[in-house]
Amino acid sequence: MGDPALSRRGFLAASTAAGLGMTALSGCGGDSDGGSSSGTTTIEWWNISTTQPTKDVWAALAKKFEARNPTVKVKIVQLENDAYKSKMTALIASGKLPDIFHTWGGGVLKQQVDAGLVEELGDRTKGWADGLLPVAKEPYLIDEKVYGIPFDIGMVGFWYNKALFEKAGVTTPPATWSGFLDAVRALKSENVTPLALAGKEKWPGMYYWAYLAMRVAGADAVQKAADEKDFTGPEFVEAGRKLKELSDLRPFQKGFLGAAYSTPTGQAATVGNGKAAMELMGQWAPVVEADAGKGLGDGLGFFPFPAVEGGRGAITEVFGGGGGHALRRGAPQAAVDFLKFFASAASDRELVKKTGVLPVVPAAESALTDPNLTSVQRQLKAATGFQLYLDQAYAPAVGQEVNDSVAALLAGSKSAEQVAESITKVAKEAQ
Amino acid sequence: MTSTFLPDKRSGPEAGRPPAPTPPGASPGRRRRRVSHWLTAVSFQLPALVLFLVLVLLPILFALYAAFFRWGGFGMPSDYIGTENFTRLLDDPVFLGDLWRCLVLVVLSLVLQLPFALAMAVLLNQRMRGRAVYRMLFFAPYVLSEAITGVLFGMIFAPDDGLADQVLGGVGLDGLGGEWFADPSMVMATLFLVMTWKYFGFHMMLYLAGLQSIPRELREAALIDGANAWQRFRGVTLPLLAPTLRISVFLSVIGAIQLFDLVWVVTQGGPDHHSETMAVTMFQFGFKRYQVGYASAISVAMFGISLVFALAYQRFVLRRDLQGATTTMRGGGG
């Protein structure tokens, strides 16, 4: 067994060393607060771009920024989407956020702002941030103050299979709700599944209800309902009834209640493999369709959510969201400089060309070549109203209740009235 | 805790005997020695105690505390609302449904899964060719992680394109195919099928071990007495296997109360809450809706149900198997 005393001493030495190491490490962490003795500032940048080519493009941009600012080091921390969300939850509880961090804006960002953890950027970004696409900045405005800078913006609309539409004799994409229902009926009579939906994940179903509410009540009224925490108005019940009208046609693929979104048997793959004619999805739909299924290439088209006859919302009001960056309260000037660099026309052109995001800087629009994304971009530029994804715009409890009760409506266990009531109930409870 | 830990010259003839309660008026020397023994014992247990305290006891107590607050998980809970979370729990159709579904799973496990495992164990306890291979095959699913099982069966039971529907269609039984996990009225049955596939091998192994500890002579004696196969099983095997059965039932029930991973991966509790379990509901409220106070109340309820069941089961069912264990207070054990 050797000499137990020696090995115990060895253990003690090792643990002491480990302890010292920890202290040293945490010391390093503290340094990122703001410059160190050598005069360089390290800014920590947390993002969720773990997939290629985005990962490399972003790293290259950080290198370029470092080359231009020799006294600044950018430390990139990349986490997968869900891991990032849970890590952030823990960080928020500890009260200390990274210098630059990914945000979707809306209710979650508001919670962080309310906790006093996020830097207000209005004054520090004046001048250069004014030129960014207005609709892209919308999600990061909280009480009319700027808390984030976008790098991506998109919207939800119908992605359709041109060949299947032709087969069913639908020559032009429907622009009204009744025209849309007619198209669904025409597709069904040709034995084509009109719509694919990921019922298991709930959020894709929420898109229908949210858009219908916007078309019936108008984007401003949806905002007002959220502010007043009251969704029981007749417009919201009407939105639920319209959705019921659609689901009564049984337009979704077989087993949609159990379908996921991006798995090989999920919503995106069903459309990408030509087994359903449409899906209501964001600007990333073509990429995921090609990844989870075969993809339709030029056979895929896009049209905005149709207008509802007699509704107050225009067809030009968009529902969507994007991605942006926020800064922790008291972040160094270098972090603001980095946001400015990242939102410059040159950087944005690079992002649009290589990573498939939509431009937030008007000067970068020339980099957009994909016809579908160009038509999404046209919609966004002409937008007369904007609503962020409900599960991000609202406090988490309310957003999840919207998803949950709309899913119940689609499963046939809640009525349109009950959906409006249960959302209102949770909104009122959530202070 | 015996006094053999330390070579103690004074212990003399008492060494190796458990310390008796200090009689009134014991000599101060003996008492000091007892204290030092006690300190030795505590210092040996301290690391484990600290870990248990920090990682098990404190979180439980904190959850109990948080269950009385409306709390979003940021900062410390401050909005005290009394027992509102618990009254809400009893009004929540989803939670009441969770309890019902838990009961369904327990009953199905006891009535179908465990008897099936027992039958397989008895079968594989006979002398037969390839016995070891069968045992290994039936045990293999238990080694798979819940997540892998979930993804696997999510694909197998995909409507139309999945293996299950394709095979049924291939042999002309299209009518039996269905929406499996996507059909609210079928999801629990499908889930139970997957759970049985995954867990029966584990229970089978328990029973096999139990069966092998039954002396052959007893069965041979019964045989000589003219008992038929069923009588030998009913009168000899089953009673002697009873301790193993009781443990297996216990594990099965506790597993049903805490079921999470498999459900989360396959259905996330859907469609429309029809496969949701208490743990899934807790996760939804704690980590999706950030209503951590309410989620704590759910976890406290789960803890309470498990605890009451475990104590009652130990007290009334496992008493003979666990004589002298914690709940009987008889001490010593013998």
Q: Which two tokens stand for residue A309?
A: 């006859």
Binary contact (B73, A89; C-beta < 8 A): yes
At A431 the pLDDT is 53
Q: Which CATH architecture has domain A14-153+322-360?
A: 3-Layer(aba) Sandwich (3.40)
Rounded Cα distance between A260 and A200, Å, is 5
B82 CB-near residues (< 8 Å, 6+ apart): B68
Span B230-258, mean pLDDT? 92
Q: What is the mean pLDDT of residues B237-256?
A: 93
Between A and B, how many CB-CB pairs are < 8 A?
A: 81
Instruction: Enter the DSSP assignment of A149.
Output: E
Contact of A91 with chain B, judged by CB distance below 8 Å, is answered with: no
A386 φ, ψ (degrees, to nearest 5): -140, 140
Chain B: residue nearest A260 by CA? Answer: B267
Instruction: Write out the two tokens for B83.
Output: 């027992």
Q: Is the pLDDT of residue B8 over 60?
A: no
Q: Looking at domain A155-320+390-429, which CATH architecture does it have?
A: 3-Layer(aba) Sandwich (3.40)
**3-state SS class at A102:** strand
Looking at the complex, report in whole angstroms how far the Cα of residue B288 sits from the nearest Cα belonging to chain A. Answer: 7
Residue B235 has pLDDT above 70, yes or no: yes
For chain B, state the CA radius of gyration.
26
| pLDDT confidence tier of residue B30, bands split at 50, 70 and 90 | confident
Q: How confident is the model over A148-193, as pLDDT tens digits?
A: 999 999 999 999 999 999 999 999 999 999 999 999 999 999 999 9
Whether pLDDT at A233 is above 90:
yes
* pLDDT tens profile B113-149: 999 999 999 999 988 888 899 999 999 999 999 999 9
A14-153+322-360 with A155-320+390-429: one CATH topology?
yes
Among A22-26, A166-170, B64-68, B213-217, which stretch is predicted with the lowest mean pLDDT? Answer: A22-26
Write phi, then psi, for B120 (nearest 5 degrees): -65, -40
pLDDT at residue A13 greater than cutoff 50:
no
Give the start-to-end residue ranges of the domains of chain A. Answer: 14-153+322-360, 155-320+390-429
- Amino acid found at A200: K
Q: For residue B290, which residues of chain A lie inside 8 Å, CB to CB?
A: 89, 395-397
> For residues A39 and A31, which has the higher predicted lDDT (pLDDT)?
A39
Q: What is the pLDDT of residues B51-73, one digit of tens each?
A: 999 999 999 999 999 999 988 77
- Closest partner residue to B158 among A111, A265, A413, by Cβ? A265
* Residue A34 pLDDT class (50, 70, 90 cuts): very low
Which of the two residues, B26 and B301, has the higher pLDDT score?
A: B301
Alpha-carbon span B109 to B115, nearest angstrom: 9
What is the tens place of the pLDDT at every residue in A46-105? 998 877 788 888 999 999 999 999 999 999 998 887 778 878 877 887 888 999 999 999
Cα torsion B41, B42, B47, B49 to 10°: value is: 120
Q: What is the mean pLDDT of chain B?
A: 86
Distance from C-alpha of A393 to C-alpha of A139, rounded to nearest angstrom: 8
Query: Please, which pLDDT band fits residue A38 given cuts at 50, 70 and 90?
Result: low
CA separation, residue B90 to residues A271, B67, B201 (Å) = 42, 14, 36
Secondary structure in 3-state letters for chain B: CCCCCCCCHHHHHHCCCCCCCCCCCCCHHHHHHHHHHHHHHHHHHHHHHHHHHHHHHHHHHHHHHHCCEECCCCCCCCEECCCHHHHHHHHCHHHHHHHHHHHHHHHHHHHHHHHHHHHHHHHHCCCCCCHHHHHHHHHHHHHCCHHHHHHHHHHHCCCCCCHHHHHHHHCCCHHHCCCHHHCCCCHHHHHHHHHHHHHHHHHHHHHHHHHHCCCHHHHHHHHHCCCCHHHHHHHHHHHHHHHHHHHHHHHHHHHHHCCCHHHHHHCCCCCCCCCCCHHHHHHHHHHHCCCHHHHHHHHHHHHHHHHHHHHHHHHHCCCCCCCCCHHHCCCCCC
Question: Which residue is closest to B160 within chain A, CA to CA?
Answer: A254
Q: Please give the Cα distance from B56 to B46 (Å, whole number).
A: 15
Of B73, B161, B182, Cβ closest to residue A257: B182
CB–CB contact A258 B160 (8 Å): no
Q: For position B289, what pLDDT does the model report?
A: 87
At A198, list the tokens.
Answer: 């990921």
- Max distance between CA atoms of chain A, in angstroms, equals 89
Q: Is the pTM of this model over 0.90?
A: no
Inform me whether the C-beta atom of residue A115 falls under 8 Å from chain B C-beta atoms. Answer: yes
Strands A141-142 and A145-146, bridge-based pairing:
antiparallel
Arithmetic mean of pLDDT, B80-99: 93
SS3 assignment, position B303: helix
Q: What is the mean pLDDT of chain A?
A: 86
What is the average pLDDT across A199-205?
92
A19 has pLDDT over 50: no
Dist. CA B251–CA A28, nearest whole Å: 47
A208 in reach of chain B (CB within 8 A): no
Q: Do A407 and B272 touch (CB under 8 A)?
A: yes
Contacts of A30 (CB under 8 A, 6+ apart): none
Instruction: Pull the structure tokens for residue A419.
Output: 């959906």
Helices vs strands, H then E, count in chain A: 18, 11
Count the neighbouring beta carbons within 10 Å of the beta carbon of residue B119.
13
Dist CA B307 CA B242 (whole Å): 23
Residue A269 burial (CB count, 10 A): 26
Rounded to 10 degrees, what is the CA torsion of B154, B157, B162, B168? Answer: 160
CA A343 – CA B141 distance, rounded (Å): 51
Residue carrying structure tokens 């596939």: B197
- What pLDDT score does A346 carry? 87
* CA–CA gap between residue B203 and residue A39 (Å, rounded): 65
Report the run of H or E that residue A250 belongs to, with start and end. none
Q: What is the pLDDT of residue A415?
A: 95
* pLDDT at residue number A96: 85
Given this model, what pLDDT does residue B301 score?
95
Is there a contact between A265 and B161 if contact means CB atoms under 8 Å apart? yes
The answer to whether residue A201 neighbours chain B at the CB level (below 8 Å) is yes
- What's A3's DSSP letter? -
Q: CB burial class (10 A; 0-12, 13-18, 19+) of residue B48?
A: exposed
What is residue A20's predicted lDDT score, i.e. its pLDDT? Answer: 41
* A294 in contact with chain B, both atoms CB, cutoff 8 A: no
